[in-house]
Amino acid sequence: MSTEWLQDARDAVDGFVAGLQAGIDSADAQTYNADFAEDVMWGSPYGATVIGYDTLHSIHRGMFERGVAVAGPSSRYQIEHVMAPTPDVAIAHVRRVAMDADGRPIPIDDASAFSEMAMYVLVRRDRRWWLAAGQNTPIRPKT
């Protein structure tokens, strides 16, 4: 893997995550989904698979419109790791941490909210990066 590929991938993931953060902070699905490809494949934290931007956007728009805050009062995204197997593919693990009203992380054993780890696959098409696939997994305490 070249260092140029990796830097491009990191920059793409940084921009993508900034868009997610802006969308969740403003409760705006259009901002949240701005970099999702038309043919995006999404794995929900509850085991559903959603195919296509329009279907996923409708779900996210409905959640934001209903004020669904399953994550807690707010969330913060943290990039854990980025790799670039090819010049036009970025794969990232990104943690979304549920925060309380005072901006403190909500413990993972608090059932009122959840944090999650996502794997995102971004692809570059015509010099623009798009989310091609994502899979969210809730973070739970070890038992």
User: For each of the chain's 143 residues, which pLDDT tens digit applies?
Assistant: 578 999 999 999 999 999 999 999 898 999 999 999 999 999 998 889 999 999 999 999 998 888 765 566 688 999 999 999 999 999 999 999 988 888 899 988 887 778 999 999 999 999 999 999 999 999 888 87
Sheet bearing 89-99, strands edge to edge: 49-51, 36-43, 128-138, 116-125, 89-99, 74-86
Please tell me what DSSP assigns to residue 105.
B
C-alpha span between 92 and 80 (Å, rounded): 7
Q: Which tens digit of pLDDT belongs to each residue from 42-63?
A: 999 888 999 999 999 999 999 8
Note the pLDDT of residue 133. Answer: 98
Nearest by Cα to 133 from 94, 96, 97: 94
Read off the tokens for 40. 């995006």
Q: What per-residue confidence (pLDDT) applies to 69?
A: 56
DSSP conformation class of 116: E
| Whether the Cβ atoms of residue 111 and residue 136 lie closer than 8 Å to each other | no
Provide the pLDDT for residue 142.
Answer: 80
Predicted local distance difference test score (pLDDT) of residue 1: 57
Token output for 86: 């090819």
Amino acid at 113: A
